[in-house]
A and B are shown apart, each in its own frame.
Chain A
Amino acid sequence: MRALPVLSTASLAVVLACNPSGSGSPGKADGEACSTAAECRSGLCFRAPGAAAAACASSEPAAAGECPPPGAQIITAGPAIDAPQPTSCQTPVRAPATNAGDIAFIDLGEAKVGDTLRFTLPSGTTSFSIVSQAVATPTVPGGTRPPSTIAFQSFSIPNSVVPTSVVHVPTGTQYYSDTEALPRIGPYLDATSVLAYYGGLSPISGAFTVPNTSKALDVALTAGELPSGEWSFVVNDFAFECLSVQGCFAPAGSNTSAYHVQVLVEQRPFTSTGALDVEVYLATSPASELRTASAAASDPQFQRWARSYASYLAKAGICVRNVTVHDLPSWVVGGTGYAPNGLLDVSGGGQGTPPGCDDLSQLFTLGLAQNRAVHLFMADALVAQTLGGFTVLGVDGSIPGPSGVPGTINGGAVVGVTGFLGGERTAGACSAGGAPNVVVCGTDALALVSAHETGHWLGLYHTTEFDGTLFDPLTDTASCPCLQCAPFALRSRCAERNPTGQPTFMLGSYCTGQRPRCGGARNLMFWLFDDRFAIGDTSRQQGDVMRRNPAVR
């Protein structure tokens, strides 16, 4: 289990910048031989398919195909989702999408926490994802249903599933351990130099994708592939780890929890572009602008949303191809449904009490379109009764999303559309042509929010978290540490110095510098949508992570 950050209060006067950038520094020019990105002026050392060795390059080649970003979106009304209203919490174990045959699935079956599982990556593999799903009634001998939560010190924490001891067997290289502490730079955790990172909470089901850090990207891009041959990992969750952590209370059965495990193996070559399908599900009321899939597909503002959304993802080399809209069963927006009249309570944030049984998680189980895609839900509005009424712009079920295995409790992202779609602060703002304008056109703002949640689905973390103490695992995104970047008058409240008090929130205006320090407000994955600065930028490494997700083709 990753320890909660314990921030040093000593020696804070000299704090090195996080995310020291490898790019922009002196180094080899494009075309010169290299063995690591740090040698290259461009920050990219890349071995092209068929090449004898790696060479510095400014980017990977574009994918051969008919979908150059941003592409022309094909918007259609797809089949309605047909499912009876369940009478109890659903935590299904899902099979691979029926149209996902163009990617290799290795079904490892059921296993218990602590079991070591093995799989083999063929030559040419460029990413893999381990998808673990809790089994309610296990068939594996001695297996039990995983507990919902654990108690650590005074906190109740969802029992997140995450593999550990992920090892490339022939070389003995450990790619990930969930029990080893991350390196630090000053008071800050630094995940850029490890081979894999897992920073979210994903109880009951979760996906784990390699590569998703600068270090892993460098290793894979320099070799042109991930190491082939046998890999192993240990089936694991927080409850199992809890058994060996002081101060942690593990419920009964924590050493026998059973999960169904699948591995998705991606062999698409490294390219600078890729295509993405989006499955949209409508949890909207009959009075909504998007009351039905057919109404949405022909709605000019929905079409504008799709264009703007595609324009943001195009910055990461992603071409949004098919946008398929689905009606959900009418009971979803009924009085006892998950989103009564289109108002979705996101208090659980996908975790809920018990985890997986909140409205948001249960709604995601209806994301059943059989496609290796991003599954994006649209409700009229997101509300948060247990958060004092405070709502957010969007929520993603897990980082990364379980691409290729639709319909799990973490298998969706959601945005609230009412008041944004078609909303104009100046007349005609949403009918104007040209680039999206998030300040005056709500449709464009909604598109940026949707692209941000899609970024999470495709594996991206916030470049800087709200309190300026936690950053993404990539070296070419700017970070914005509170102690270095907040106004002087607010630094005494920075979480580095004041870890238990109300922190200084890192506003966009504090983070407008150039990388590597005090920047990020313009990035798609900044924690805040500060519309003075937000333009949805992405870095090369962010694009690499996103395009390695199995949802991208």
Chain B
Amino acid sequence: MAALLLAVLAAAAPVAPAASPEVRANVSALLNAFDRPVTPEAFAQLGPEGEAALAEVALSNDFAPRRARALEVLSVLKTPRAEEVHRAVAASGDAHWLVRRAAVLGLGRLLPAERAASELAPFLERDREPAVRAAAAEALAARAPAQACGVVRAQAARELAGNAARFRSALGACDRAGGARQ
């Protein structure tokens, strides 16, 4: 699946430099800070090749936490290909929930409010993973509270009691934002 995603993205994406083995290795290393967060600027210093390498990690069979971290970096840096990489991963049914959670949260950072509301709602309402549904709720509450807090609250009400904890953060954000109530 990862190879297929890469092939599809390569065909559709604007021309971006491929990552050299050295940049690829350095990106992989920076995604592995033991106990000190590496700032987005450190990755930005690697330039377009760095973005290409991050996209490769995000779409690879690497360990889920590293793929998730690569997505976070891409979304914070808002690189040119970030949106399509996030979209591909979020739609990838066989990806680990931790990776798809990062993709959905990242889309919340990348998309304008109107599109976030429409594009993340399906993840909120239909994703099979509670963690991904909760991530969609969190992203919507942060990015598009006016448009989406109604559906966030509705979904939270539909969730099983065992999943309620996952929606607390989103509901709190909606309350603070004074978003629409149903």
Is A528's CB under 8 angstroms from B32's CB?
yes
Q: Which residues of A contact B105 (CB under 8 A)?
A: 389
In the assembled complex, A508 has its CB within 8 A of some CB on chain B: yes
Q: Which of A96-104, A158-166, A329-337 contacts B (4 or more CB under 8 A)?
A: A329-337
In the assembled complex, A425 has its CB within 8 A of some CB on chain B: yes
In the assembled complex, B118 has its CB within 8 A of some CB on chain A: no
Q: Give the size range of B's interface with the partner.
A: 35 or more
Is B33's CB under 8 angstroms from A528's CB?
yes
Partner pick for A341 among B32, B36, B39, B165, CB 8 A cutoff: B165
Q: Is the interface of B mostly helix, strand, loop or mixed?
A: helix
Q: How far is the CB of A266 from chain B (nearest CB, A)?
A: 26
| A-B Cβ contacts below 8 A, count | 128
Interface residues on chain A, number (Cβ under 8 Å): 46
Is A425's CB under 8 angstroms from B34's CB?
no
Q: Which residues of A contact B32 (CB under 8 A)?
A: 393, 528-531
Is B37's CB under 8 angstroms from A505's CB?
no
Closest B residue, CB atoms, query A287: B130
In the assembled complex, A77 has its CB within 8 A of some CB on chain B: no
User: How many Å lie between the Cα of A333 and that of B165 in the bound state?
Assistant: 8
Partner pick for B34 among A336, A388, A452, CB 8 A cutoff: A452
Given contacts A337-B165, A507-B30, A528-B30, contact A390 B38 (CB under 8 A): yes
Given contacts A381-B98, A416-B65, contact A531 B33 (CB under 8 A): no
Is A392's CB under 8 angstroms from B37's CB?
yes
Partner pick for A423 among B25, B34, B63, B131, CB 8 A cutoff: B63
In the assembled complex, A387 has its CB within 8 A of some CB on chain B: yes
Q: How far is the CB of B96 from chain A (nearest CB, A)?
A: 6
Q: Which residues of B contact A394 (CB under 8 A)?
A: 34-35
Contact with B along A441-470 (1 / 0, CB 8 A): 010010001001100100000000110000
Most buried by B among A336, A389, A507: A389
In the assembled complex, B29 has its CB within 8 A of some CB on chain A: yes
Known: A419-B68, A420-B65. 10 other contacts (CB 8 A): A335-B165, A340-B165, A340-B168, A392-B35, A419-B98, A502-B39, A508-B29, A527-B36, A530-B32, A531-B28
Interface residues of B (CB under 8 A from A): 22, 25-26, 28-30, 32-42, 45, 61-65, 68-69, 72-73, 75-76, 96, 98-99, 105, 130-131, 134, 162, 164-169
* 7 nearest CB pairs, A to B: A419-B64, A335-B165, A335-B168, A530-B29, A529-B32, A390-B37, A389-B72
